């Protein structure tokens, strides 16, 4: 495989040294970095790292979701699908202390960061887990996700086909996707299975709400 020239800009979706943010065990050397997530209702001091999504700071799409998504279900099980270092999961947990927030990812470094960030921010209601560790009978009142579009269209569809059917009957998911990464075609695909509403379109991002039909 071709190696990237040192100093060259990382290819889209890579996080240096040909490591991807969705690798189970990132090969790029760890270099933790502090980031602050400041929202009107709460502030979180978080640690991110190389080898995970959002190493440079809170992703603008993630921030849009956290600012604009409708109010969360106050209790029950909530899911951050693809939690990374935990910006979404911890916000859900702080906004809904009565809920159990599942923070799910495949990247072990991201899961470790999310666990440590939950502890540091006293978000005791976050349950950090690999996809396989979430019991099959758990149903989610809310799913929020900045999904891993870079895994490819088929893999992304499989991922959403796995988790969206686990919404409760009156539950809702909110997904943030960049327009140039296929937000509109994803909305069309989602609309063939679920009720889809375009909640916001800001900068290059689309905020999609998905409900069971």
Ligand X SMILES: C[S@@+](CC[C@H](N)C(=O)[O-])C[C@H]1O[C@@H](n2cnc3c(N)ncnc32)[C@H](O)[C@@H]1O
Q: Which residues in this chain contact ligand X in the complex, by CB under 6 A? A: 21-22, 53-54, 59, 62, 81-84, 87-88, 104-107, 110, 131, 146, 148, 151, 159
For ligand X, the closer of residues 88 and 213 by Cβ is 88
Match 């960049």 to its residue by tokens.
178
Give me the DSSP letters along 120-143: HTT-TTEEEE-GGGS-TT--EEEE
Nearest distance from C-beta of residue 213 to ligand X, angstroms: 24
Nearest distance from C-beta of residue 5 to ligand X, angstroms: 25
- Do residues 107 and 20 lie in contact, with contact meaning Cβ atoms separated by under 8 Å? no
For ligand X, the closer of residues 154 and 170 by Cβ is 154
Tokens found for residue 156: 């992304």
Nearest distance from C-beta of residue 181 to ligand X, angstroms: 10
> Taking CB positions, which residue lies at the least distance from ligand X?
82
Question: How crowded is residue 47: how many other Cβ atoms within 10 Å of its Cβ?
Answer: 17
| Residues 6+ away with beta carbon under 8 Å from 40 | 67
Tokens found for residue 151: 């895994």
Nearest distance from C-beta of residue 107 to ligand X, angstroms: 4
For ligand X, the closer of residues 54 and 171 by Cβ is 54
């Amino acid at each position: 495989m071709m190696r990237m020239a040192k100093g060259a800009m990382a290819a889209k979706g890579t996080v240096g040294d040909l490591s991807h943010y969705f690798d189970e065990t990132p090969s790029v050397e760890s270099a933790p970095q502090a980031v602050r997530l400041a929202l009107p209702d709460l502030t979180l001091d978080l640690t991110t790292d190389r080898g995970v999504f959002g190493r440079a700071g809170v992703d603008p799409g993630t921030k849009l979701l956290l600012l604009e998504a409708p109010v969360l279900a106050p209790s029950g099980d909530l899911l951050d699908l693809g939690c990374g270092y935990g910006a979404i999961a911890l916000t859900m947990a702080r906004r809904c202390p009565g809920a159990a927030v599942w923070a799910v990812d495949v990247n072990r470094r991201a899961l470790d960061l999310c666990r440590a960030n939950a502890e540091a921010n006293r978000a005791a209601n976050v349950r950090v887990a690999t996809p396989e560790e979430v019991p099959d009978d758990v149903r989610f009142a809310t799913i929020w996700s900045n999904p891993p579009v870079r895994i490819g269209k088929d893999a992304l569809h499989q991922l959403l086909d796995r988790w969206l059917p686990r919404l409760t009957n009156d539950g809702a998911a909110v997904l943030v996707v960049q327009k140039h990464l296929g937000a509109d075609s994803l909305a069309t695909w989602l609309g063939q299975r679920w009720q889809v509403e375009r909640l916001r379109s800001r900068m290059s991002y689309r905020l999609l709400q998905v409900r069971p039909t």
